[in-house]
């Protein structure tokens, strides 16, 4: 399902080009099976992309660059051999480009018309510490297609095990909702999965006139509307409305439901977002602590 066709929940998901961003780290290794599984399932071409730091021989330790280049050549050769084993079932291509990770991923995603970007994060930088501007955060907030992020607590397993039998979709009813819920429902159809739809009502602030019970009833009605015309789902969808901190409740439900995928909408990019209590931090915390991958979809 591309961003152009995702407004109708009955549309089937179509992925033609998948971009897997790798820095050859353990985090990338954890994300790789998901890239393979999606490419196999949807018959998509898989692009493995690495951003190479431009050489700077003005630095004192110029011997660093030949060592780094030799390691890159070894890593690239290993990756190509691994990808060749997937053929002819999966069409693959390795792309090495100089520049910053975000710029390279954005450039290649646009050039190859990527329908999905997949990456891993260790959680030690950026997402794990809620530092906006980290590589993973920049990618998921700037990408014009969905981004699947594999966090540090996701277990590594074989590609054939990457079926999402339980999917959790969490929404704050922002502008991303129509697109994100379409993906969640589409994947539930594709995987014959149990689907849980969740909205978290944050604790009332002083002076607010709307009662939490009223918000809860309205939220339940809205969630039910998303799935009332989806009779083809393998299992009746579950609708939940909870009260509390959004990230904490999303993680809590994911654990209780045994979610194998969390789907979140991410609001439009803004250079003014810096505080950790804003919606960006919800995605950060969920990605860094979830035991399953998180699919983020930006309006």
- The reply to whether domains 17-150 and 160-298 share a CATH topology is yes
pLDDT at 130: 34
Q: What pLDDT is attached to residue 248? A: 95
- Smallest CA-to-CA distance from 188 within 50, 295, 60, 46 is with 295
For residue 72, the model assigns a pLDDT of: 87
Sign of the Cα torsion 258, 260, 263, 264 reads: positive
Q: Mean pLDDT over residues 109-118, rounded? A: 97
pTM: 0.86
Segments making up each domain of the chain, as ranges = 17-150, 160-298
Confidence of residue 181 (pLDDT cuts 50, 70, 90): very high
Average pLDDT estimate for 257-272: 79
Picking from 228, 224, 178, 193, the residue whose alpha carbon sits closest to that of residue 1 is: 178
* DSSP codes joined into one string, the chain: --TTTTTSTTSPP---EEEEE--SSHHHHHHHHHHHHHHHHHT-EEEEEEEEPPP-TTSS-TTHHHHHHHHHHHHHHHHHHHHHTTTTTS-EEEEEEES-HHHHHHHHHHHTT-SEEEEE--SSSGGGGT-TT-HHHHHHHH-SS-EEEE-TTSPP--GGG---SEEEEE---STTHHHHHHHHHHHHHHHT-EEEEEEEEPPPPTT--S-HHHHHHHHHHHHHHHHTT-TT-SS--EEEEEES-HHHHHHHHHHHHT-SEEEEEEPPP-TT---TTSHHHHHHHHHHH-SS-EEEEE-
If one compares 286 and 6, the residue with the highest pLDDT of the two is 286
Q: Which CATH class is domain 17-150?
A: alpha beta
The whole-chain average pLDDT of the chain stands at 82
Q: What is the pLDDT of residue 127?
A: 41
The yes/no answer on whether domain 160-298 falls in CATH 3.40.50.620 is: yes
Q: How confident is the model over 26-82, as pLDDT tens digits?
A: 889 999 999 999 999 999 999 999 998 776 555 555 666 777 788 889 999 999 999
């Amino acid at each position: 399902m591309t961003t152009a066709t995702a407004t109708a929940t009955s549309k089937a998901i179509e992925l033609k080009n998948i971009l897997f961003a790798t820095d050859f780290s353990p985090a990338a290794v954890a994300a790789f099976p998901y890239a393979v599984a999606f490419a196999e399932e949807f018959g998509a071409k898989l692009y493995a992309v690495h951003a190479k730091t431009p050489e700077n021989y003005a630095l004192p330790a110029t011997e660093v660059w030949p060592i780094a280049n030799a390691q890159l050549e070894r890593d690239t050769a290993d990756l190509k051999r691994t990808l060749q084993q997937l053929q002819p079932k999966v069409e693959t291509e390795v792309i090495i480009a100089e520049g910053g990770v975000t710029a390279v991923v954005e450039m290649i995603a646009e050039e190859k018309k990527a329908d999905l970007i997949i990456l891993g994060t260790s959680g030690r930088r950026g997402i794990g510490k809620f530092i906006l501007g980290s590589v993973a955060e920049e990618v998921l907030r700037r990408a014009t297609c969905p981004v699947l992020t594999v966090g540090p607590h996701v277990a590594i397993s074989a590609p054939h095990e990457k079926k999402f039998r339980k999917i959790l979709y969490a929404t704050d009813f922002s502008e991303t909702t129509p697109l994100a819920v379409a993906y969640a429902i589409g994947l539930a159809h594709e995987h014959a999965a149990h689907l849980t739809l969740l909205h978290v009502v944050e604790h009332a602030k002083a002076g607010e006139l709307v009662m939490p019970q009223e918000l809860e009833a309205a939220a339940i009605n809205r969630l039910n509307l998303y799935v009332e015309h989806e009779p083809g789902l393998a299992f009746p969808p579950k609708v939940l409305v909870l009260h509390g901190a959004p990230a904490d409740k999303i993680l809590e439900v994911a654990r209780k439901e045994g979610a194998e995928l969390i789907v979140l909408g991410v609001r439009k990019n803004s250079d003014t977002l810096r505080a950790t209590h804003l919606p960006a931090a919800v995605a950060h915390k969920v990605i860094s602590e979830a035991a399953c991958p998180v699919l983020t979809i930006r309006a």
